[in-house]
A and B are shown apart, each in its own frame.
Chain A
Amino acid sequence: MAILVTPETKVLVQGITGSFGGRHAQLSLEYGSQIVAGVTPGKGGQTFEDKVPVFDTVAQAVAETGTTTSAVFVPPPFAADAILEGVDAGLDLVVCITEGIPVNDMVKVKRALEGSKTRLIGPNCPGIVTPGEGEQSSGGCRIGIAPGYIHKKGNIGVVSRSGTLTYEAVWQLTCRGVGQSTCVGIGGDPVNGTSHLDVIKMFNDDPDTHGIIMIGEIGGSAEEEAAAWIRDNCKKPVAGFIAGTTAPPGRRMGHAGAIVSGGKGTAEAKIEAFREAGIQVAQTPSEMADVLLKVM
């Protein structure tokens, strides 16, 4: 089953005619994902790579193609608007890849999402991959910028704030012959659509997910909240890693949300919360897969 997306999910790419969006739309097509539409205002009627119709609005794309899910590759000043356009068009899922969106824009988006049926993943995230059954996991659903070939279809769920750390965990699993149900990058911004906990709950309910790797980093308290829920509710083994033990307080470590401020959001506190919840903690990122496999 996997979570959020399946190989059948019909995906729309907002910003498909831009260099970034176009490149990754192409890679998703090569992976075998159902990229059924693109949206770029003013370029409606064009065709991307001779097969994907481009529309001026998300509503048109939904009406014409039945797409339910969007990947947003729109530049930061216009990204909040693009997300809300997807919400307005009634999409089930919007995955925003864009990095560098003003925080206040996301505060407004998050407020607008209250009571809507749309789930937002990201922003500033690598996206979602549900691996397929083909060679190097092709035929799956790849939304975003993750390299498709590192995946393998299987039963481990991966959730992380960081792109390359997700790839690291996925690759470790794949190299050990262990596949993934779905891999979700929730993004490194302080305000995001979906939390660790949201994804953990979905993995817990997904019969095809048998174990979970949860990767966190300094800043905020989302990892602690997820850990508290896992302690009381999660039926599946969870391994975790927290990045940023050596990060100096008060400095933003690349990700807008990765900052220890006022003594809050430290790696130590998060690791402690993981331990208390019975989550197996990887001492180094090299051990993420092994730590999970030991308890599977």
Chain B
Amino acid sequence: MNIHEYQAKELLARNGVNVPSGKACKSIEEAQTAAQALFDAGQSMLVIKSQIHAGGRGKGTFKSGFQGGVHLCKSVDETVETAKAMLGEVLVTKQTGPEGREVKTLLVASAEKIVKELYLAVLLDRNTSKPIVMASTEGGMDIEEVAEKSPEKIVKETIDPAMGMMPYQARKIAAALNLPSSLIGQATKLLMGVYKTFWSCDASMVEINPLCIVENVDETQGIAAVDAKISLDDNALYRHKDILEMRDLAEEAPLEIEAGKFDLNYIKLDGNIACLVNGAGLAMATMDIIKHYGGDPANFLDVGGGASREQVTAAFKIILSDPNVKGILVNIFGGIMQCDVIAEGVVSAAKETNLSIPLVVRLEGNNVEIGKKILNESGLELISGDSMADAAKKIVAVV
């Protein structure tokens, strides 16, 4: 699960990480109040940031033509005018796709005077099965680009999960980032807090980009998480009721939400051949084989090991609500559940949903002959496939 920047900053702040003061606003009035409070507290400049689950906001364009999803404002009036141009409007960035995302929340925060931008992230290192802290002096940039062009600029520190992050490791990172001695203490506190956020929230990644050395009003320097992105381990959400409440369904694809209700794992793609498969590996392989024979998969859909009648019916309904879909390939390996039972489920689901587009069914496993007989005698215009390759060729041919 992903959360918004303002929510990520809230979690970080709870764990002692310094974030610029600000407030999430869902209306113009709230933005006005928040701006007034910040200017009253002595701020001379504010930043107003669109809250959507996609990167590239600053360089994005609203469908209204208004440029930029992030703006600096010098007064309450300017804040209100800018908020009006952003709130409720659809922002298109390089990560949203052409459809864009509606901005329903704005983060109004103090604009820090930035001395230097750095990069910081905590994530799982799959090679060691341990958390790893990655930091770089190249802040504000795409870290993958840095990793490719100048990998020596990325500092990595593996954390022993039995101990958690030790302060010396934080100091090591701070030193490797060439931070001045005067900031080592603050940086250590921030790094420890970021790791604590990662571990205690069961995050799959915490990314602070940029992490900034900032100049305070009294001209001393500080360190702050100016932007933040957190994604969470879905498997662990059951023990984080407070974080689960941060879920924004408007940021997720409606069909994927619907699929989740039936324990179906569905991901919409751009093609026109839908597939319905049991097992994640086989579902991926089915998409691959459709492509291999010249077709274009419309989705990933794993109905789980059982492929019950209820699930297949729900899956058909979800598949059919995608207007691009021109044909369906059902690929089930009947392992524990026998092919005849699955065939009956597919037939009844097809009848219940009044299926009118080509359907190719490939069953394999126990009782496969009885299963095929049920399919052939169903009165439905379905095509039976013998192997995965045969089934894929057949659906590609008719779509």
Contacts and interface: CB of A to CB of B under 8 A. Distances in A.
A132 to B, nearest CB: 17
B333 A102 contact: no
A45 interface: no
Interface residues of A, number: 62
B365 A106 contact: no
A245 B164 CA distance: 37
A248 B269 contact: yes
Nearest to B289: A284
Given A101-B235, A247-B287, A253-B283, A164 B199 contact: no
B15 to A, nearest CB: 15
A164 B333 contact: yes
B388 A102 contact: no
A48 interface: no
B169 interface: no
B152 interface: no
A167 B365 contact: yes
Interface string B303-344: 001000000000000000000000000000101100000000
A66 interface: no
**From DSSP, what is the main secondary structure of chain B's interface residues?**
mixed
B387 interface: yes
A133 to B, nearest CB: 20
Given A215-B281, A245-B288, A286-B388, A163 B305 contact: yes
A286 B293 CA distance: 12
A165 B281 contact: yes
Given A103-B235, A103-B236, A104-B202, A149 B366 contact: yes
Interface string B202-213: 101000000000
Given A147-B365, A190-B124, A246-B287, A283 B292 contact: yes
A47 to B, nearest CB: 24
A211 to B, nearest CB: 21
A260 to B, nearest CB: 11
A257 B387 CA distance: 27
Interface stretch (B30-38, B125-133, B179-187, B243-251): B125-133
A150 interface: yes
Contact of B364 (A146, A168, A217, A221): A168
Nearest to B205: A261
A176 B219 CA distance: 78
B335 A104 contact: no
Contacts of B26: none
B282 interface: yes
Nearest to A192: B129
A113 B285 CA distance: 33
A77 B239 contact: yes
A77 B238 contact: yes
B230 to A, nearest CB: 14
Contacts of B290: 246
Nearest to B236: A102
Nearest to B270: A248
Interface of A: 27, 76-77, 100-108, 110-112, 145-147, 149-150, 160-168, 171, 188, 190-191, 215, 217-222, 241, 243-248, 251, 253-258, 262-263, 267, 283-287
Given A168-B364, A245-B288, 15 more contacts: A102-B235, A104-B233, A107-B161, A145-B305, A150-B335, A150-B366, A162-B281, A164-B305, A217-B284, A220-B126, A243-B284, A247-B300, A251-B267, A254-B279, A254-B300
Interface of B: 124, 126-127, 129-131, 143-144, 147, 160-162, 199, 202, 204, 233, 235-236, 238-239, 265, 267, 269, 277-285, 287-292, 297, 300, 302, 305, 333, 335-336, 364-366, 387-390, 392
6 contacts: A104-B161, A150-B366, A162-B282, A164-B281, A243-B281, A253-B284
